[in-house]
Structures are given as C-alpha cells and as structure tokens.
Amino acid sequence: MLVLIGFIALHLSATGRTETRIAGNLKANAVAAAAADGAIFRAIFNLSDPQQDRRWALDGSDHVLQVGGLRTTVSLEDESARINPDTAPPALVEGLLRATGSDGGTAARLAAAIADWVGNTPVAPQAGELQEQYRAAGLDYTPPGSPLESIDELGHVLGMTPEILAAIRPHLTLFGPASPTPDRADPMVIAAIAFASRSQALSAPNAAPALPPNGDVIARITAIATSAAKARVVRVAVVRAGAPQPMLPRGYAVLAWTSGWQDSD
C-alpha cells in the first residue's frame, strides 16, 4: 500500500510540474506575441509619419524596440522589390528560376506553367490542352487561370517541386508591381531582371514599376520578440501605408499577416 501511494504521489507531482511548465510557456508566448504585434503597429505608425525623413528606410535593417519590457527587433523591406508571379512577364519568372538554381529547360517550362496557372500568357492555350498535360502527370486538377490566393498555391503547378518553391519563395510577392524596383531588389531578383531585359520582356532594365498612388508604400514588416523565458515569436505583415484617403481611411491597410513562435526551453 505504501509503495502504491508513493507511485501515485510521484505521478501527481510529475503531472503538476508538466502542467506548470505548459502554463508558463503559454504565458511567455502570449507576452512575446503581444510585443511582436506592438512592434508591427509601431512600424506602421512610423511609415505613416507625414515627415518622410523620419520614416525608417525599407532596406531590411534592424530597429530594436522595447515593447512591454521585451526586446523586439523589427525590420522593413520594400515589397515592390520582389517579383509578383501574377503579373510578371514569364521571362522574369524564368530568370528568377535560373538565378535560384534551376537549369534552363526546367526554368522555361516552369515559368510557362506558372503563367498558364495565373492566366498571364500572351496566347491562351487551346481548350483541353492544359487538362491533358495535368492528367498525363497523374494530377486531377487543372490551372484556374486566375491570380494566386497564396504563394503556397505554386506548389500545385505542373513540374514544381518543394525544393524549387523553397528557393524562389523569398523573392516573391502577391502585392508588388509587374516590374520590381531594381534599386532595392536582392541579387536574385536583379539577376532575374537582367535576364528578362536580355529577353526583351521588359521595356528597359530599369523600367519604372507601377507604384501605388498618392505616394503610398507597400512594406513587408518583420517583428521578432523574445521573452525572458526564451519564447520567441515572429510576426510578418505586408502593409500598404500612406496619407488617409477614401481608399485608405486609416492611413494603412494590412494586406497579409503571418506568425510563428518557438516555445521556451
């Protein structure tokens, strides 16, 4: 009986410690998440500053903030410096695929398949042609011929692999212009622009992008907050910011919002 009681007491003690740790992790995550959210909105407030010289540059540099007593790092990037697969010329997408490691044949086929998927081809394929191609590959769906709902959707494109998608994902956006801004683009996007320019797919190597009206900016804001318990929360928001107007009554609009976290040890 004493041995049995000892086992029960040990089990209850272990269960209590586990539940205490879980509760502590949940609290740490909640505190870090609130700090990361606060940093995102602090960045939005900064982007809306009427004095442009006080705004943070969209260059990816880190800004350290204290939000709710937590050290939070926030960075801003120009979303127009990425490639929009919904509207980009196929040669620009092909250039990105080549720059990120795909061979010429694979890059050309995938760029054409992406254009078919989003309906961005100069000549529409014949009726049933795409359906036959996808059926031959063992797929029970066909391209919708409409803009992407998410970058993940590219994983369904004929010939796309997880490795290729992972390579091009950091350079893509669904909110940028057809021609990315070269002066803020990363090396892969610059290489893609150069390839497309050689292919005469862009009017000029530094073709001006179709920017949002009224001097608005579209920024990707990344906030990372770490609590004292080592909980780490990452928030990423794509935001359009500018002067209040009928289309932007609050002076900003959140276009996308993603999050992730790592539990404390």
66 and 91 share one domain: no
Task: Please tell me the pTM assigned to this model.
Answer: 0.80
Q: For Cα atoms 102, 171, 175, give the angle at the middle one, nearest 5 degrees.
A: 135
pLDDT category at 255 given cuts 50, 70, 90 is very high
CATH number of 104's domain: 1.10.40.60
User: Number of structural domains, the chain?
Assistant: 2
Mean pLDDT of 191-214: 65
Residue 12 sits in the same domain as residue 51 = yes
Q: Are residues 89 and 49 in the same domain?
A: no
* 225 bridge partner residues: 72, 233
Would you say residue 203 lies in a domain? no
Q: What average pLDDT does this structure show over 207-214?
A: 47
pLDDT of residue 209: 44
Q: What is the DSSP string of the chain?
A: -HHHHHHHHHHHHHHHHHHHHHHHHHHHHHHHHHHHHHHHHHHHHHHT-SSGGGSPPSEEEEEEEEETTEEEEEEEEEGGGSB-TTTS-HHHHHHHHHHTT--HHHHHHHHHHHHHHHT--SSPPPTTHHHHHHHHTT-S-----S--S-GGGGGGSTT--HHHHHHHGGGB-SSS-SS--GGG--HHHHHHHHHHHHTT-SSSTTPPP-PPGGG-EEEEEEEEEE-TT--EEEEEEEEEE-S-BTTBTTSEEEEEEEEEEE---
Whether the pLDDT of residue 8 is over 50: the answer is: yes
On whether both 60 and 136 belong to a single domain, the answer is: no
How many angstroms separate the first and last alpha carbons of the chain? 37
18-59 confidence digits (pLDDT tens): 665 666 567 778 888 999 999 999 999 999 888 888 999 999
Domain that holds residue 41: 2-80+213-262
> pLDDT per residue over 154-198, tens digit each?
999 999 999 999 999 999 999 999 899 898 899 999 999 999 999
Last residue of a domain, one of 122, 150, 172: 172
Specify whether 157 is located in the same domain as 229.
no
Q: Is pLDDT above 70 for 123?
A: yes
Q: What CA–CA distance (Å, rounded) separates 111 from 154?
A: 11
193 in any annotated domain: no
Q: Is residue 10 located within the same domain as residue 72?
A: yes
Has residue 90 been placed in a domain?
yes
**Neighbour tally for 101: CB within 10 Å:** 13
What pLDDT is attached to residue 252? Answer: 87
